[in-house]
Structure formats: C-alpha cells, structure tokens
Amino acid sequence: MTGVITTVYFVRHADSPYSAERERERGLSAAGEEAARRAALLLEDEGIGFLVSSPYRRAVLTLQPLADRLGLPVAEEEDLRERKLSAEPLFPSREAFFEAKRSLFADPQLRYPGGESSEEARQRGTAVLRGLLLRHRGSRLALGTHGDIMTLMLGAWDPAYGFRFWQSTSMPDIYKAEFMEDAAGPCLYAVTRLWRGPGA
C-alpha cells in the first residue's frame, strides 16, 4: 500500500430518547451516556487529533467523553446533520418507517414531503468529509455522526453501503475508515467495525 492514509473514525451516536419535536436537541439516555464513556476508552489511544460532529446534541454528547480525555474541542459542522426524512411524521409503524428508509436508499432522488433525498444529503455530507480529508491529510479524526448520513457518505465511495448496512448499525457504532490519497483524490481503502454498541 502506498500513498498518504487519513483515518476517520465514524462514531454513530449512542442511544437517545426519541422525540420528533426535539430532533436537534435531544440528548442521550443513561445507557447512551455509559456507552459514550466506553467509546471514549476504546478510542483514546488511537492517536486522534481532531473531533468534528453533526450539530445535533446526541452526536456531540457521544464524542464529549473522548474530547474530555484528549483535551480537544468538538467542532460542529451543520452539513453533517442527519438526513431529514420528512417535514411531518408520515410513518405510523416501525415497518412503515423501515420501508420508507428502504425506498430512499433504493432511489437516490426520492424525497418525502419536506425531507431530503439520499442524493441531496450525500452531497452535503460528502462535501464536508472531503474538506476534512484535505485539511487533515495523513491524520486521524473522529466524526460524530448518524446512521443515514454515515451510510450515505461511505456510499459515495462504495455503493455497497446502502440500506442493509444502515439496518445493521447500532447506537453507538464505531467504524474505522482509511482513505488513501491518489491522483484523483481520496479513495476509500478499508473500513473496519471497531465496536458495535448495545443499542438497536
């Protein structure tokens, strides 16, 4: 393997009590707080030098124990926010919700009323990630993220990251993604799951 490697630790947020009205502000459950502390113990010796997160509180709080251990701030990037499914709750059951997700991943242009298509969310998230890979070339960084936007960003490099991958993720979840730089820009070289948290 040749070329400069930049490593991104995708940290999907820990368990958070659901509230459609508080999508940006909801924090972590007690179990989620404990899982975030465990994630920090797992990552503290990885050589991470920069922390960046979705602005949603549950994502920031999942990275905060690691930030405290490393003595680093958590930078927030608005365009790393979770994909908005729709303006109103349109899916009354878990089955309907999963079918809506399956349809969104199957058709990148599909958009529910007031929501984002997969392509729209992928473009904004990937633009931030490409900028981070450029600015932190050869470094290691942790990214506080969500299930949809993480899947879509990885899918920008490898279409194997789609609905089934999203469905397999947990809260929290940690993936180590290695990007190797070549003449065309960063290429996704390898992805390793470091930890599957306890939450569904």
155: which 2 tokens? 């899918």
**pLDDT tens digits for range 13-61:** 999 998 767 889 999 999 999 999 999 999 999 999 999 999 999 999 9
Sort 25 into a burial class: Cβ within 10 Å, 0-12 / 13-18 / 19+.
exposed
Angle of helix 30-43 versus helix 57-70 axis, rounded to 10:
40
What distance in Å separates the CA atoms of residue 33 and residue 102, rounded to the nearest whole number? 29
Domain ranges, residue 120: 5-199
What distance in Å separates the CA atoms of residue 173 and residue 11, rounded to the nearest whole number? 6
**pLDDT tens digits for range 157-176:** 999 999 999 999 999 999 99
Domain with residue 105: its CATH number is 3.40.50.1240
Instruction: Count CB atoms within 10 A of the CB of residue 161.
Output: 20
Domain count, the chain: 1
Give the chain's mean pLDDT.
95
Tell me, what's the pLDDT at 2? 60
What distance in Å separates the CA atoms of residue 87 and residue 115, rounded to the nearest whole number? 6
Strand, helix or coil for residue 35: helix
The DSSP-derived string for 104-152 is HHH-TT---TT---HHHHHHHHHHHHHHHHHHTTT-EEEEEE-HHHHHH
Q: Is the pLDDT of residue 195 over 60?
A: yes
Tell me, what's the pLDDT at 200? 62
**pLDDT tens digits for range 105-157:** 999 999 999 999 999 999 999 999 999 999 999 999 999 999 999 999 999 99
Q: Cβ contacts of residue 191 below 8 Å, gap of 6+?
A: 154, 158, 175, 176, 177, 178
Strand, helix or coil for residue 178: strand
Tell me, what's the pLDDT at 91? 85
Tell me, what's the pLDDT at 1? 47
- pTM metric for this prediction: 0.96
